[in-house]
Each structure stands twice: as structure tokens, then as C-alpha cells.
Chains A and B, each alone.
Chain A
């Protein structure tokens, strides 16, 4: 715009100049926006995907002894972008009474290490920063901000099915990851 008045053109030429440079800027801004919006969605998109909740068969009720948590390992096929990958996972399954089962996600609610059952002391213990949980998941020592995460268990055709989920770590609320 700096030189509009030195060009020696007539009045209508100056405003034509002005009009054209505004029009150019406006069209440029429009194109830039029209390209940026899809690109933002494109980059953010994988972050918006929710994980599926697979239903895992962990055995029959009689595979479990009342009052004794048992670790069940299984392999999930995880879709990692365009790659399908087998992923080893596990759940703690506890038979509380004959027909009452509870399953825990084995990830410590502090920062995600795998807790293990110490039969001697009757507690779940986390090896990383000394988190300790009772048999019903309550924190008795260490930094974990909430009880162990329970998973839904149901019986179907004589088999126990656990709905496997991961939850956000390090926060007091149980929130799906």
C-alpha cells in the first residue's frame, strides 16, 4: 500500500489498486483456511478413536478357588494404525463366593506397572513405587490415587467373560483411556 500515492495515476486507479490488494488478501486467507481446516482434522483424527472393549473368556467358574486371585493371560489383536499386532494382556480374576466373581485390570492405578498377588501378606503389591492394595482393591499404602480398576464379568454358556478395558492412570477418577 505504501506507494499508492506516488504512482501518479488517477484517483480511480488508486482505489482499484486498493481493491485488488484487499481482494487478493481475502482470497488468500480463504484458501489458507480451506486448506488448514482439513489438515487440522487430518492430524488430530487418530486421537479421536476409541478403543474397542474385547470380551475375554477366562475359563469356567471351577477353574478358580474361592478367595484366591488368579492371573489369566490372553492375547489381543490390536489394530495399531494400519498394522494388526498381537498384544499380551492379563487380568486378575477373583472368585469371591461360589457365584460372585470380580476381575481387576492388573495395571497399577498410579502409573501402570503390573501388580502381583502376594499370598503371604494377602495383598496386591506394585513393584514400582510401593503401591499396596487389599484383596478388594482398596489402597492401603503407596501413591496409587484410586482402588484397582474392576472390570465387568459375566457368565455365558458356563464360561466367564471379562470385558477388558484400560483406564487413565495417575488420577483419582476411574475414566476410560
Chain B
């Protein structure tokens, strides 16, 4: 809705950004989208543990940005991979910053995603109606491990080479199909050019193509269902909460989502 204008005297013209937002709102209803995303009802009991998911999302974004720029110099071929990483480290301005962020971000990502999952377990936040949010999360965890596993080979130094040798050999110990899995992972019997190329392709193309929509789905479900309150031992308060339900969401059954005992 347009704000009321002064009927006389100096009219205050809305600022340019207000006018842009007004016209977008008129056509697309952007204000209600913004409200649905940002002006959500949050249980009073939220605490710092609830920030772990956002922290993961932040580091993930950082990985995407730094990864894209690493790919501007990195070459996934056995005779250039190591040298191209050394070039980033020694000759490119801020190369150590960009690679360092990606390197430490990779570990931070794993730590944060696991911590986030632990908070969900401990608070019982995976229970009805959030089972699908949890399921999406399980795949996100696996994808994160996939990034770590494929990314680790890329610097093509001794550590990378032997870590991947060990990792792929682990897969090789699976009964019956192990030998086959090992050869598929390596693209042959030995770890070499083919392995590096496919790990790179999975790391920068396949896994991002999977994880980005899955993050979107995960967040959609978080916003749609609303965040769960911390478990509360006082049964009466739980009952009250269940009866009240979530007034914020229309079209969903009136359930609190507070874990049952």
C-alpha cells in the first residue's frame, strides 16, 4: 500500500529505493515474501545452539565463492595441478587468503554441519512434523563429506595422493562389490589422471548441482514449518503450546512440533 502523502505543503517524495520496492511489490508482492521469510514467529526458547545451521550456511556460501575463484587458476591435470596450486599460493595476490579460506572453510563446514545435527538430535527437533527436514539434512551431511573427500585430492601433493589411496582402498574392502567400487572411484585400477579429473568434476560440478537445490529445500522446510522450540520438561506448558499451535502458518495442521515425551 502506498503511504499517505502530505495533503499540502512540501510533499516528501519517496526515495528511489522505496519507489523501486513499491513497484516490485505492486507486481510481485515482494513485501509479503520478505515478511514470510524474515518476520517469522520464533519460539521464545531459542538460544545460541540454533545459530549452527546459519553458521553452516554462511561457511557454505564462502566455500562457493572461494571455490569459484580457486577454479580460475586451478588445473585438474597431474602435470599441472600441483604447480597451479603453488602458483595460487606464491604468486597470486591474496591467493593464500582465498585458498586458506577454502581450506579452513572445508573443515569448518564439516564441524558445523555435525554440530548442527547434534543440536537437532539433542533437542529432538527431528520429530514430527520435521522428519523431511531431517532427511534432507542427512543427504546434506553426505554431500558435505563428498566435497571433503573429492576436494582433498585436488592439490595433488603427497598428502592428497596417499589420503585418496587410503580412502579408495577403504571402499575396496566392501564384500563382493568392493573391487568394482574401487575401480569406479579411481576410474581404473590405479589412482591417476582419470581419478583427478573425475574428482574435480564431482567436486565443482556434480556435488554443487546436488547440494544447492537440497539446501534450498532444507531451508524452505525450515521456514514453512517454523523453528521448533526447545524441549520443555513442564508438561502443562507443552500442552498449552500444542493447543495454541502455530498461529503464524495457515493451512498446516495445528501442531506445535514440540517433541513428545
Please give the residue numbers on chain A whose beta carbons come within 8 Å of chain B beta carbons, in ascending order: 2-3, 35, 38-39, 41-46, 48-49, 81-83
Contact = CB atoms under 8 A, between A and B. Distances in A.
Given A3-B39, A39-B69, A82-B86, A46 B92 contact: yes
B73 A81 contact: yes
A42 B98 CA distance: 8
B207 to A, nearest CB: 22
B94 A81 contact: no
Interface string B74-118: 010000100110110001111101100100000000000000000
B94 A38 contact: yes
A3 B35 contact: yes
Contacts of A48: 93
A83 B79 CA distance: 10
**Chain B: number of interface residues, binned into ranges:** 20 to 34
Given A38-B98, A39-B98, A81 B87 contact: yes
B34 A45 contact: no
Nearest to B84: A82
B70 to A, nearest CB: 9
A2 B22 CA distance: 12
Contact of B95 (A35, A42, A83): A42
Contacts of A46: 91-92
B62 interface: yes
Nearest to B80: A82
Nearest to A7: B39
Nearest to A37: B94
Nearest to A40: B94
Q: Which of A39, A41, A83 has the most CB of B within 10 A?
A: A39
A79 to B, nearest CB: 9
A35 B64 CA distance: 12
Contacts of B69: 39, 42-43
Contacts of B62: 35
B35 A45 contact: no
A2 B92 contact: no
Interface in B37-95: 39, 62, 65, 69, 72-73, 75, 80, 83-84, 86-87, 91-95
B31 interface: yes
Contacts of A44: 93
B64 to A, nearest CB: 11
A136 to B, nearest CB: 40
Contact of B65 (A2, A35, A43, A49): A35
Nearest to B39: A3
B92 A83 contact: no
Given A42-B92, A42-B98, A2 B34 contact: yes
A39 B93 CA distance: 9
Contacts of B93: 41-42, 44-45, 48
B83 A83 contact: yes
